[in-house]
Amino acid sequence: MTGLLILLLFLVAGNLLQSQLDSPVPGSIIGMLLLLVFLMIRGRAPESLSQISKTLSPLLPLFIIPVSVGIVTQKELLAENGIALLVIMAVSIVPGAIVCAAIMKFRRKRDAE
């Protein structure tokens, strides 16, 4: 339970900071960054946190299903733009993938020399 409490503590802190600073970055992201800083200062992850992470990670997709089902409210938009959206998503992967892999490979070649 300590692990979950840590997560909620940082989430609440993140949300509070977000509203106080009127930040465009979501509270949960601020909470995550705060937790990251905490872990870096501490030097290792508490056992309870690793434990809750192992428990919750496989369930992650489950927690996203409800909001995703909201797609049923977007039928008109999808009927109108569905094909265009699919093409955009397929096409936009290609340049990004090549840039990404080229940078990784470029350095590797130089390392080998």
Partner 1 sequence: MLNELLHMPLFWAMLTIAAFTVGQHIYRLLGNTAFLPPILTGIILVSVVLEVTGISFDTYMDGGQYLHLMLGPVVVMLAVPLYQFIHVMKKEWLRISLAISLGSGTTVAVAVAMAHFWIGNDPITVTMSTKSVTTPVAVTVSEQLGGVGALASAFVIITGVFGALMIPPLLKSVKLDDPKAMGLTLGVCAHAIGTSRAIELGNQQAAYSAMAMTLTATLHAVLLPLVM
Nearest distance from C-beta of residue 55 to partner 1, angstroms: 10
Classified as helix, coil or strand, 45 is coil
Out of 1, 24, 76, 113, which residue is the one contacting partner 1 (CB under 8 A)?
24
Q: Residue 57, interface with partner 1 (CB under 8 A)?
A: yes
Place of tokens 């080998």: 112
Q: Residue 21, interface with partner 1 (CB under 8 A)?
A: no
Q: Residue 85, interface with partner 1 (CB under 8 A)?
A: yes
Rounded Cα distance between 48 and 7, Å, is: 11
C-beta of 2 vs 81, nearer to partner 1: 81
Amino acid identity for residue 8 in this structure: L
Out of 1, 79, 91, 113, which residue is the one contacting partner 1 (CB under 8 A)?
91
Place of tokens 């990670």: 57
Out of 1, 20, 22, 59, which residue is the one contacting partner 1 (CB under 8 A)?
59
Q: Residue 71, interface with partner 1 (CB under 8 A)?
A: yes
Residue 31 near residue 15 (C-beta atoms within 8 A): yes
Q: Residue 66, interface with partner 1 (CB under 8 A)?
A: yes
Number of residues counted as binding partner 1 (CB under 8 A): 70
Alpha helices by DSSP H, listed for 1-113, are: 2-21, 27-42, 47-56, 60-69, 75-112
